[in-house]
């Protein structure tokens, strides 16, 4: 078993806990203090949650949009980004012991299909996600399969460990595209796009360009290491400028984080022949797309990116954090106690905050 970090095993909890639940088929979440602390099954561990990040997905659930209404079971505890301490393990658990500080991968699978058995469980046919399909981490305790546990390196602070899930999206996208010694366009500087800027730089991108339609985020992209950031509302001269800076050819790599159909098209136009595009941003609907000009004539490579590789991405993330080169302080802007969850969501939804974290312990 992996060594625990504390010698004194904590007394395991019973009784009720505080949490946020999707209480009705409508907007917002509800705070409760009377939810029964869950018991782990034979192959599960129970984790006492320290901090949890609020994801864009949580915003969809809060706002109860069409996607949320079609997917989220009313009554569940939401939230899927977190760090905490293992508090109890199931009878057949062999890998971990109480006392270990951990995060966890949110995608669960039975482990039977091709991708689950070849290091790609993140795209299994039967994936379920904490806080979306079953109880999540906006709670004092969460139960997860031991397979999903990620022991957190001691040098990584809780605030950062709480957001390894979205950071992992950025790392997965950057590493899939192979940015080392290459020029990179980050298309869309939302939370994960901004993370992608600092990740790409730490991972060896030579020169990073960023586009968005939000000037403060564009300014932050430059602070995080982009050599240029362009306001895409001001026409497409930025594509010419990028070509001018790249031997007239375009960037080696596009990281598409916006999901905006115009941005997807323009990004491909800024990509050199033979270049690579990694697509993470989800368009709201099907896109009218010129395959000939954007992909086929240019001989480009496109990667669809979903979740985090289980668990290659997590190792890469740990290494990038240990490198000391990731700049996350300007991205994780706010922390609120669980009880101030309304203020936390409002800060995030208004755009005043970027990544907002809930303190739960």
CA-only gyration radius of the chain, Å: 21
Contact between 94 and a copy of itself by CB under 8 A: the answer reads: yes
Between residue 309 and residue 338, which ones bind a copy of itself under the rule CB under 8 A? 309-312, 314-316, 319-320, 322-323
- Among the listed ranges 16-24, 50-58, 269-277, 347-355, the one in contact with a copy of itself (CB under 8 A) is 269-277
Q: Which of 8, 15, 181, 234 binds a copy of itself (CB under 8 A)?
A: 181
> At closest approach, how far in Å is the CB of 26 from a copy of itself?
25
Between residue 103 and residue 142, which ones bind a copy of itself under the rule CB under 8 A? 110-115, 117-120, 122-125
According to DSSP, residue 233 is labeled G
Q: Which is nearer to a copy of itself, 229 or 294 (CB)?
A: 294
Strand partners, 228: 209
> Which residues touch 183 (CB under 8 Å, ≥6 apart)?
205, 206, 207, 208, 209, 245, 246, 251, 252, 253
- Among the listed ranges 10-18, 156-164, 275-283, 342-350, the one in contact with a copy of itself (CB under 8 A) is 275-283
d(CA 192, CA 83): 19
The contact mask relative to a copy of itself for 25-64 (x = CB under 8 A, - = no) is -----------------xx---------------------
Q: Which is nearer to a copy of itself, 19 or 278 (CB)?
A: 278
The active-site residue, picked from 12, 23, 60, 301, is 60
CB 159 within 8 A of CB 81: no
d(CA 37, CA 12): 11
Contact between 180 and a copy of itself by CB under 8 A: the answer reads: yes
CB 281 within 8 A of CB 259: yes
Burial of 102 (0-12, 13-18, 19+ CB in 10 A): buried
d(CA 153, CA 160): 11
Q: Which of 12, 32, 134, 206 binds a copy of itself (CB under 8 A)?
A: 206
Q: Which of 8, 70, 234, 292 binds a copy of itself (CB under 8 A)?
A: 292
Question: Is 301 tagged catalytic?
Answer: no
Q: Which of 302, 340, 343, 349 binds a copy of itself (CB under 8 A)?
A: 302
Q: Which is nearer to a copy of itself, 64 or 314 (CB)?
A: 314
> Which residues touch 291 (CB under 8 Å, ≥6 apart)?
none
The secondary structure of 312-335 as a DSSP string is HHHHHHHHHHHTT----TTTEEEE
Question: Is 57 tagged catalytic?
Answer: yes
- Return the active site residues: 57, 60
């Amino acid at each position: 078993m992996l060594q625990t970090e504390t010698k004194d095993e904590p007394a395991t909890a019973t009784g009720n806990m505080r949490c946020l639940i999707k209480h009705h088929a409508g907007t917002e979440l509800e705070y409760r203090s009377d939810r029964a602390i869950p018991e782990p099954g034979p192959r599960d561990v129970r984790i006492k949650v320290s901090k949890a990040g609020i994801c864009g997905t949580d915003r969809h659930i809060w706002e109860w949009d069409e996607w949320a209404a079609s997917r989220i079971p009313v009554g569940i505890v939401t939230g899927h980004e977190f760090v905490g301490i293992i508090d109890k393990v199931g009878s057949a658990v062999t890998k971990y012991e109480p006392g270990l500080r951990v995060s966890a991968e949110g995608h669960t699978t039975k482990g039977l299909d091709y991708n689950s058995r070849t290091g790609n469980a993140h795209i299994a046919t039967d994936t379920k996600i904490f806080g979306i399909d079953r109880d999540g981490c906006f709670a004092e305790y969460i139960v997860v399969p031991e397979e999903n546990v990620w022991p957190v390196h001691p040098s990584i602070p809780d605030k950062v460990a709480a957001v390894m899930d979205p950071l992992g999206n950025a790392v997965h996208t950057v590493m899939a595209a192979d940015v080392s010694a290459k020029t990179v366009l980050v298309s869309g500087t939302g939370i994960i796009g901004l993370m992608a800027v600092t990740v790409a730089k730490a991972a060896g991108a030579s020169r990073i360009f960023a586009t968005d339609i939000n000037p403060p985020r564009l300014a932050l992209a430059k602070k995080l290491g982009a050599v240029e950031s362009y306001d895409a509302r001001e026409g497409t001269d930025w594509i010419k400028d990028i070509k001018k800076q790249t031997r007239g050819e375009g960037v080696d790599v596009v990281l598409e984080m916006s999901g905006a159909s115009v941005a997807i098209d323009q990004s491909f136009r800024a990509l050199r022949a033979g270049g690579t595009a990694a697509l993470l941003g989800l368009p709201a609907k099907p896109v009218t797309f010129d395959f000939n000009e954007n992909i086929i004539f240019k001989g480009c490579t496109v990667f669809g990116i979903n979740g985090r590789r289980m668990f290659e991405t997590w190792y890469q993330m740990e290494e990038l954090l240990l490198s000391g080169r990731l700049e996350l302080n300007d991205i994780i802007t706010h922390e609120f106690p669980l009880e101030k969850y309304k203020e936390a969501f409002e800060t995030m939804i208004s755009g005043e905050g970027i990544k907002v974290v809930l303190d739960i312990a």
